């Protein structure tokens, strides 16, 4: 058994996420040669990890779940696998590869001869239960889809009509691309073909034409944000190009770079202090309530979110949910952007009733009516609800993971221990750097290192100035005391 124990999102440009797995001792028995984890999501793709035992080694691997489709799908990312040593972080075993490609034909990347079985047992990698911890660090994802759209048979001089790509899978949803030539350019839509319970916010970029073509240069669009509604229809995007120019061998070559596809829960807030129920992408029940927040003389909207199905979480598991919040008045002009809050995250464990997650906003409450309003279908029409001053709250679901164990565990001590070891190593290197700096000052200027003036120069020029107590210790030439203080 391979359990996803912890999840960490660094929220950096590289979209780095760390998945921590606990590998059971059964992989070392004679009855199992491979163990697999449950599926998890990263970069809107579905994955699982596996550990395979050969005659002398243990080999971890990362697997992409790719549905068979006519398109050529490529997902590339940076992969780092870390086996944690319980004695010291410098003895960790690691494997790193950049932009390894996963395709429909080759959806697996294996770390060959990662660790010897004998080393795994004798070099303090396993605990008393013969279990061990492995981190999979994933970052810099890139999902790309290619398709050759066949031009239908037509008479000479007949203009091109609507063109559709074959379907592809992204974000556990199926999509296709529609291109319609018009007099002013080409109209492009990205349509969702499955899951019509939620709307979906997508981000993508389209490339039309081959890069090596001698007839024309490919058209590369800027990154597009598109909203796919409950029917799956995407927003129409007009490009100033003539599709006829990109026809080659009765085909149009299209490349689609997909960046995100987040499902949205749309909640109409008719009045303050009313509860509105909704569902997340896993069909778990939630409800939302709005109250007022006093700031000086003004009142602002505050959103409370409750997880109704919290009692359905399996025992000894926790459910990690991350989301963004979009708030806007119904009667606001189309040019007014909604207030975007977050991202937020919370760990949920099984209990009878969930305590609310409160989000204060900067939206004044004078928009909110005191009476009740109903009619979601009327809101879907152009212009919203006539005469309504209600609010629309959009919850953009980023990712949801089921983790085990749910509570703080001795497995967490290993990461805390290695963090403390790294902190001490950095303190030692920092103290040695200060000593070298003092020595260089002495030989360069002939100053006494105990002189306050030379030390102030050293402190100003130092990239990482020490604390006052640490400087006093360094002045007295006792760097070991400074290090012991950090311990």
Residue 323 and residue 198 share a domain: no
What is the pLDDT confidence band of residue 469, given thresholds at 50, 70 and 90? very low
239, 263, 287 - which closes a domain: 263
Please tell me the pTM assigned to this model.
0.81
| Residue 146, domain member (yes or no) | no
Residue 249 and residue 294 share a domain: no
Find tokens 């970029």 and name the residue. 205
Residue 194 and residue 122 share a domain: no
User: What confidence tens digit (pLDDT) does each residue in 235-283 have?
Assistant: 989 988 888 888 888 889 999 999 999 999 999 988 788 889 999 999 9
| Residue 75, domain member (yes or no) | yes
Residues ≥6 apart with Cβ < 8 Å to 126 = 25, 86, 120, 132
Residue 197 and residue 101 share a domain: no
Residue 320 and residue 238 share a domain: no
Q: How far apart are CA 203 and CA 185, in angstroms?
A: 21
Residue 277 and residue 239 share a domain: no
CA angle 92, 96, 99 (to 5 degrees): 160
Q: Could you tell me the residue range of the domain that residue 376 belongs to?
A: 270-403
Q: Can you give the CATH number for the domain in which 201 is found?
A: 2.60.210.10
Residue 294 and residue 257 share a domain: no
| Residue 437, domain member (yes or no) | yes
The pLDDT score that the predictor gives to residue 479 is 42
Phi, psi of 22 (to 5 degrees): -105, 120
Residue 37 and residue 113 share a domain: yes
Residues ≥6 apart with Cβ < 8 Å to 440 = none
What is the pLDDT confidence band of residue 380, given thresholds at 50, 70 and 90? very low
Residue 337 and residue 284 share a domain: yes
The pLDDT score that the predictor gives to residue 243 is 86
Of residues 293 and 483, the one with the higher pLDDT is: 293
Domains of the chain: total: 4
Largest CA distance in the chain: 93
108, 141, 174 - which closes a domain: 141
Residue 155 and residue 136 share a domain: no
Residue 324 and residue 237 share a domain: no
Residue 8 and residue 72 share a domain: yes
């Amino acid at each position: 058994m391979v359990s996803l124990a912890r999840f960490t999102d660094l929220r950096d440009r590289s979209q780095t996420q760390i998945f921590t797995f606990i590998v059971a001792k059964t992989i070392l028995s004679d009855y199992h040669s491979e163990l697999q984890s449950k599926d998890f999501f990263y970069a809107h793709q579905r994955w699982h990890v596996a550990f395979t035992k050969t005659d002398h080694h243990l080999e971890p691997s990362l697997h992409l779940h790719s549905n068979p489709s006519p398109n050529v799908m490529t997902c590339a990312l940076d992969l780092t696998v870390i086996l944690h040593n319980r004695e010291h972080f410098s003895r960790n075993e690691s494997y790193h590869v950049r932009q390894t490609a996963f395709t429909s034909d080759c959806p697996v990347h294996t770390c060959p001869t990662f660790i010897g079985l004998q080393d795994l047992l004798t070099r303090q990698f396993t605990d008393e239960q013969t279990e061990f911890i492995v981190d999979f660090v994933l970052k810099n994802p890139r999902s790309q889809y290619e398709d050759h759209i066949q031009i239908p048979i037509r008479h000479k001089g007949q203009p091109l009509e609507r063109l559709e790509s074959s379907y592809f899978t992204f974000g556990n949803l199926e999509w296709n691309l529609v291109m319609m030539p018009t007099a002013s350019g080409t109209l492009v839509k990205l349509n969702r073909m499955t899951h019509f319970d939620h709307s979906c916010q997508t981000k993508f970029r389209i490339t039309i034409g081959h890069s090596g073509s001698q007839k024309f240069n490919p058209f590369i669009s800027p990154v597009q944000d598109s909203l796919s509604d409950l029917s799956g229809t995407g927003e129409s995007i007009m490009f100033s190009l003539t599709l006829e120019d990109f026809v080659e061998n009765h085909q149009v070559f299209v490349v689609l770079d997909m960046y995100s596809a987040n499902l949205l829960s749309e909640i109409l807030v008719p009045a303050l202090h009313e509860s509105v129920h909704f569902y997340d992408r896993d069909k778990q029940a939630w409800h939302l309530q709005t109250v007022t927040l006093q700031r000086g003389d003004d009142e602002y909207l505050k959103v409370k979110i409750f997880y109704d199905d919290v009692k359905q979480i399996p025992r000894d598991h926790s459910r990690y949910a991350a989301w963004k919040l979009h708030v806007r008045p119904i009667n606001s002009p189309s040019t007014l952007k909604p207030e975007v809050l977050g991202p937020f995250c919370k760990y949920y464990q099984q209990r009878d009733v969930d305590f609310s997650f409160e989000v204060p906003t900067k939206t004044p409450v004078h928009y909110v009516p005191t009476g009740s309003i109903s009619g979601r279908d009327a809101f879907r029409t152009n212009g919203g609800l006539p005469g309504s001053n209600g609010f629309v709250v959009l919850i953009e679901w980023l990712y949801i993971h089921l983790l085990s164990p749910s509570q703080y565990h001795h497995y967490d001590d290993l990461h805390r221990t290695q963090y403390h070891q790294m902190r001490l190593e950095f303190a030692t290197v920092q103290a040695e750097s200060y000593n070298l700096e003092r020595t260089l000052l002495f030989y360069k200027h002939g100053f006494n290192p105990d002189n306050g003036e030379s030390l102030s120069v050293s402190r100003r020029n130092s990239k990482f100035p020490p604390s006052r107590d640490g400087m006093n210790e360094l002045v007295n030439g006792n760097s070991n005391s400074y290090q012991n203080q950090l311990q």
